[in-house]
Amino acid sequence: MKIEQVKALINQHDIQSIDIKYSDLSGNWYHLGFPVAQLEHVMENGVPFDGSSVPGMRNVESGDMLLMPDLTTTIVDPFTRHPTLRMLSYICNAQTRQGVAKDPRSLAQRAQAHMVATGIADQSLWIPEFEFYLFNEAEIYNSNFAAGFKFTSAENKELLPFGYEDKDGTAVAHRKGYHIDVPFDKYADVRQEMVALIEQVGCPVRYHHHEVGLAGQQEIETTLVNFELIVDRMMYIKDIIHNTALRNGLTATFMPKPLYDEPGNGMHFHMQLRKEGKNVFYKKGGYADLSDEALFFIGGILSHGRSLAALTNPSTNSYKRLLPGFEAPVKLFFGLANRSAAIRVPSYATSEQAKRFEFRTGDGTCNYYFAMSALLLAGLDGIKRKILPTPENGMGPFDDNIFNWPEEKKDQLVSVPASLEEALQALQDDHDYLLEGDVFNTDLINSWIHEKTKDVVAVRNRPHPFEMNLYYNL
């Protein structure tokens, strides 16, 4: 979108303000606004800000940075009371006005450029699957003398909200929620409201439905979308889901495991590479009609799977989801239509245009820019080094449910890390593939490990409510 088109939007919608957003290392959004009269000045000069105030971004002695808006990301904000344009921005060096190494959007640009430079592909297409819970209430408290949480859901007889009596009998229990129909799928209209807004910001949706969790678990999945577009639109989608939930008296969470012994929320990524319009991953006659490049790409992701987890599953809560029994992949292998695999090849995607595979390990606490760039780099490294996944090296393909294997056979497969601390150590030990093309650098990786270790320490040092059950009366 050019500035003339932005000005046309301003006139068409009587826009009063422009809101620009940027992401920190963890994927949290920050924002600031300015009057529309300042647009040309801001596009020419940027907006200075203190980078040292954003966790992990910069030291106090070198804090001056610039926000440079990206007009191509402009949308009319669907949630503000006053007519507002929203656009994303790059975090730039104040002197050079180039995107800094730690700016997530600039990093994703470098990942795309590196892929093109390899000559392997000129296009990368992705489908993200957004899994999340919609709760009626979320009561959370943590202090020195009290800690706990309480979630409620009008869909589940065991989690009914305060004062809700389920007099129409539409709350259910003792069954799975997957594709459950209305009226038991109470928030189908809310999902449709989300989908309409998602498509309005230029991201086509493949489908949406109720997920397995009875306490309001949802899924929204896009179609195949270009990498450069989807990493930005995913930020908009997450924001749409949160704000639409609030507008309907609900609260949304992407936490991987908000409820004990209930299904967790993943963030599955479908991937496909193309070159000159042709699917690089397709070759008729191979395993699942996958090309050598596809197999090498899979091999790269699986061989770096333990260090990737530090970026695709970067929360302490992530590893409460990665447990056997909930269709959460805990072993690093691939297979056709296998939902116990870290990488599943969809059996329904049979044509050349559709052929792709799905990385199932990740979750929604990731920074999309970092996680998807890291997956791309790992796969390209697999092609570069010709890392072929085979049953002999434990990467598959395995098409049966490995949870039914004898323990000694399962133990021969490489496991995903069991904790964030373990994943961060794996990243410390294995990150050279992320440095290719100067996409990541060691300073960014060290900052990431430093910031995420704070989460590990914060959780580790606090008493857990269940410890009271175990030890209070000893």
Q: What is the pLDDT of residues 304-314, one digit of tens each?
A: 999 999 999 99
> In the annotation, is 228 catalytic?
no
Looking at the whole model, is its pTM more than 0.85? yes
Active-site entry in 31, 339, 385, 450 = 339
Quick one: three-class SS letters along the chain? CCHHHHHHHHHHCCCCEEEEEEECCCCCEEEEEEEHHHHHHHHHHCEEEEHHHCCCCCCHHHCEEEEEECHHHCEECCCCCCCEEEEEEEEEECCCCCECCCCHHHHHHHHHHHHHHHCCCCEEEEEEEEEEEEECEEEEEECCCCEEEEEECCCECCCCCCCCCCCCCCCECCCCCCCCCCCCCCCHHHHHHHHHHHHHCCCCEEEEEECCCCCCEEEEEECCEEHHHHHHHHHHHHHHHHHHHHHCCCEEECCCCCCCCCCCCCEEEEEEEEECCEECCECCCCHHHECHHHHHHHHHHHHCHHHHHHHHCCCCCHHHHCCCCCCCCCECCEEECCCCCCEEECCCCCCCCCCCEEECCCCCCCCHHHHHHHHHHHHHHHHHHCCCCCCCCCCCCCCCCHHHCCHHHHCCCCECCCCHHHHHHHHHHCCHHHHHHHCCCHHHHHHHHHHHHHHHHHHHCCCCHHHHHHHCCC
> In the annotation, is 360 catalytic?
yes
> In the annotation, is 268 catalytic?
yes
> In the annotation, is 339 catalytic?
yes
> In the annotation, is 408 catalytic?
no
Active-site entry in 77, 219, 239, 421 = 219
> In the annotation, is 44 catalytic?
no
pLDDT tens, residue by residue, 46-75 = 999 988 888 777 664 456 889 999 999 999
Residue scoring higher pLDDT (400 or 316): 316
Average the pLDDT over 365-387 and give the result. Answer: 98
- Judged against a pLDDT cut of 50, whether residue 394 lies above it is answered with yes
> In the annotation, is 422 catalytic?
no
pLDDT tens, residue by residue, 276-290 = 999 999 999 989 999
> In the annotation, is 219 catalytic?
yes
What is the pLDDT confidence band of residue 334, given thresholds at 50, 70 and 90?
A: very high
Average the pLDDT over 411-429 and give the result. Answer: 96
Active-site entry in 24, 77, 211, 293 = 211
Active-site entry in 360, 363, 421, 431 = 360
Domains of the chain are 3-97 (3.10.20.70), 101-122+276-474 (3.30.590.10), 131-265 (3.30.590.10)
